[in-house]
Amino acid sequence: MSTIDIPVRYYKDYPGGYDYGYETLPLPLSECAFLLVDVDGTAANPVTEGHIAPALEAGRQVGLRVAYVHNDLRLVADPGNIVGEFWGKTKYAEGRSALEPWREMGKDFEPQYLDCVRPRGGEPNFPKWIWSGFHDTFLDQHLRSWGTRTLFVVGYSRRACLHYTCAEAVGRNYRVILLRDCSNGAEIEFPDTKDESLPEGGWLNKIVLRNFEHLIGYTTTAEEFIEACAQIENGS
């Protein structure tokens, strides 16, 4: 049975710790899957094109199963939806329903992708109506039918859908490994949380990532993941 030897990082949150821990996990490849969260969109994106796409290709080359989740808020775009009401206040100055554009979409809506991360045949793509890719979807059923125990996760947003998807995955007893450079960086910051003195670009990003690495799961990088896949291909 092939294994992927993946270097990981986590944060030790106990007296005498309070620092990063590093180790390499040997994981059965057949029990791993690559999950892409909300990577749809056709605008140029240096993270998607420069980090997510190469990692995805490396995973495909070694036979990792691949699954996608994407937003489809047509599923709940009713005028009385509370999410639409609240987001209308937090995301739009004029206070309109945030779900209004979704109500205007036709029944043939399909998420659009850059060619480098477009789903291929046999790679399921699950619509979701709220942050988590597991909530009210068949993602969990498919992963369990594959015998998946570990998820390599990439996508957006680190403070919302990606975060909640990973948190629920752990609640369903999956091991989660986030490729931390395959997600949002400083662009998730609010104007008053930006801090260029921090390597993460701001306090929100630093806290979200720190919280992830001590409560939810491991992290690695695209480069480390690609190298681990290359070792499998080389028979090392």
CATH code of domain 3-72+115-233 = 3.40.50.850
For 194-233, write each residue's pLDDT tens digit.
Answer: 999 998 889 999 999 999 999 999 999 999 999 999 999 7
- Listed in sequence order, the DSSP H helices in the chain are 46-47, 53-61, 82-91, 100-103, 139-145, 161-171, 203-215, 222-233
Taking all residues of the chain, what is their mean pLDDT, rounded to a whole number? 91
Domain ranges of the chain: 3-72+115-233, 74-110
Determine the Cα–Cα distance for residues 9 and 24; give it in Å rounded to an integer: 9
For 69-109, write each residue's pLDDT tens digit.
Answer: 998 888 777 777 787 788 778 877 776 666 777 777 767 78
* Global pTM value: 0.94
pLDDT value, residue 95:
65
pLDDT value, residue 96:
67
List, edge to edge, every strand of the sheet that includes 65-71: 19-28, 3-12, 218-220, 175-179, 150-155, 32-37, 65-71, 125-128
Segment among 94-103, 117-126, 165-174, 226-235 with least mean pLDDT: 94-103
Cα 103 vs. chain centroid, distance in angstroms? 26
Token pair listed for 6: 């993946």
CB-based contact 201:189 (threshold 8 Å): yes
For 179-193, write each residue's pLDDT tens digit.
Answer: 999 998 778 889 999
